[in-house]
Amino acid sequence: MLHAVIMAGGSGTRFWPASRKLMPKQLLALSGDRTMIQSTLDRLGDAVPPERQLILTNQLLVDSVRAQLPDVPPDNVVGEPCKRDTAPCIGLAAAMVHHLDPDGTMVVMPSDHVIASPKKFQSAILSGKKLIDEDPARIVTFGITPTYAAESFGYVQRGDPIEADGVSAFKVERFREKPDRATAEDYVAAGTYYWNSGIFLWRAKTILDALRSSTPELHRHITEIAKAMGTQNYDSTLETEFTAIEGISIDYAVMEKYPNVVMIEAPFPWDDLGSWQALARLHEPDEHGNTVVGSHVGIDTRGTIVHSQPGHTIVTIDVEDLIVVQTPDATLVAPKRAEERVREVVKALEQQERTELL
């Protein structure tokens, strides 16, 4: 059977001040009326029913996630004891799926993507599952045709084409880390490189075997957790064993080494909502290039992103290429070129012990 695993443990610090520890970006409605995590499950449609949807988040967010996803069984929203990157998260999810369904296939997705065509997404997922049914040792990923030379995404280089049902699919030649601008331009010009979407399909057993081969210590801790599933010692075992794992991404742990990876050329539009500037790709800018979510009066204002709360109007005069975000207790004003430094604000607030703003 097909199971969906949603990774929803991120803190979304680049979306401060809207994103906070107890209400990070995946719990916010940044691209429409539904929150990011609600939209992630919405796009699954009938492909994966709620009882086979598994959400991995941090313990502080479990109640909030359950409240936003009332159709998902409460026990399917799992709080990780601590942050340990994507490989331990996926290993834990795979162990849970394998415990319930030894032959289960998983589609693994982050909770902060924007995909505008759910039907195309569902069709692509089911095509990927067929590729795995043909060869259970396969891992399937989805490559996004790049529209510009992005430095903030990893890349996948395609190899030889393979037969697939209803999609274009290729063997993966290699994965590439986030490049500098010149390298990214070379990738786009080559026409054989795709953005790494971070969406994966595999059998639960396959990814557990891959983790055992590439990161045996991580796999050992996951195995101890799996042994305790269904027992009264599970919670304490999860706390002890998961905390002992050294954090590592799934790309480093498995994807860059695994010999049998297939990439489907994504037939659906995709965006990674990574920072405030992503709003300009999701909302139609006005005639002056301003992207406005909320109420705004601009005089000689160009290329500016404005996000305000209901009942509050932001006024800008003679400014260009700014990010202006207003919340009830904090306001951010920064040049767009410095958006990566928003994370520094969060660190500074932590150092100042301004917990009410975190």
> How much is the pLDDT for 318?
97
Task: With CA atoms as reference, report the closest residue to 299 among 278, 310, 281, 314.
Answer: 314
| pTM (global) more than 0.85 | yes
Task: With CA atoms as reference, report the closest residue to 94 among 203, 229, 214, 215.
Answer: 203
Domain termination site, one of 214, 249, 272: 272
Co-location of 54 and 183 in the same domain = yes
> How much is the pLDDT for 152?
84
Co-location of 299 and 347 in the same domain = yes
Domain termination site, one of 272, 290, 311: 272
| Separation CA 205–CA 93 (nearest Å) | 11
Least confident span in 123-137, 235-249, 268-282, 284-298: 268-282
Task: Name 110's bridge partners.
Answer: 7
CA atoms within 13 A on the CB side of 242: 29
Residue 214, phi then psi, degrees to nearest 5: -95, -30
Q: How confident is the model at residue 116 (pLDDT cuts 50, 70, 90)?
A: confident
Q: What is the DSSP string of 268-301?
A: S-EEE--SGGGHHHHS---TTS-EEESEEEEEEE
For the cut 90, the answer to whether the pLDDT of residue 242 exceeds it is yes
Co-location of 262 and 298 in the same domain = no
For the cut 90, the answer to whether the pLDDT of residue 77 exceeds it is yes
Co-location of 287 and 241 in the same domain = no
Co-location of 297 and 230 in the same domain = no
Helices 216-228 and 234-243 cross at an angle (nearest 10°) of 170
For the cut 80, the answer to whether the pLDDT of residue 32 exceeds it is no
Co-location of 108 and 140 in the same domain = yes
Token readout for 96 is 């849970």
CA atoms within 13 A on the CB side of 331: 11
> How much is the pLDDT for 30?
84
For the cut 80, the answer to whether the pLDDT of residue 31 exceeds it is no
Distant-in-sequence, close-in-space partners of 325: CB < 8 Å, separation ≥ 6: 17, 18, 276, 305, 306, 307, 308, 331, 332
Co-location of 254 and 329 in the same domain = no
Co-location of 260 and 301 in the same domain = no
Residue with tokens 């004891």: 81
Domain termination site, one of 224, 240, 272: 272
CATH of the domain at 84: 3.90.550.10
Co-location of 305 and 256 in the same domain = no
Co-location of 50 and 102 in the same domain = yes
Token readout for 334 is 């920064």
Parallel/antiparallel/unpaired status of strands 322-326 and 305-307? parallel
What is the enclosing helix (H) or strand (E) of 4? strand 2-7
How do residues 260-312 score in pLDDT, each as one tens digit?
999 999 999 998 888 899 888 888 899 999 999 999 999 999 999 999 999 99
Q: How confident is the model at residue 336 (pLDDT cuts 50, 70, 90)?
A: very high
| Separation CA 271–CA 273 (nearest Å) | 6
How do residues 46-74 score in pLDDT, each as one tens digit?
999 999 999 999 999 999 999 999 999 99
Co-location of 257 and 318 in the same domain = no
CA atoms within 13 A on the CB side of 117: 11
| SS3 call for 352 | coil
Co-location of 198 and 291 in the same domain = no
Number of domains in the chain: 2
Task: With CA atoms as reference, report the closest residue to 337 among 290, 276, 288.
Answer: 276
Average pLDDT over residues 149-163: 92
Q: Across the chain, what does the average pLDDT equal?
A: 94
> How much is the pLDDT for 102?
96
| Separation CA 358–CA 350 (nearest Å) | 8
Return the HEC string of 11-48.
CCHHHCCCCECCECHHHCCCCCCCCHHHHHHHCCCCCC
Residue 228: Cβ within 10 Å count: 16
Select, from the ranges 28-32, 82-86, 137-141, 306-310, the one with the highest average predicted confidence (pLDDT).
Answer: 137-141
How do residues 167-188 score in pLDDT, each as one tens digit?
999 999 999 988 999 999 999 9
Residue with tokens 């990774």: 7
Enclosing domain of residue 191: 2-272
> How much is the pLDDT for 275?
87
Task: With CA atoms as reference, report the closest residue to 142 among 119, 166, 125.
Answer: 125
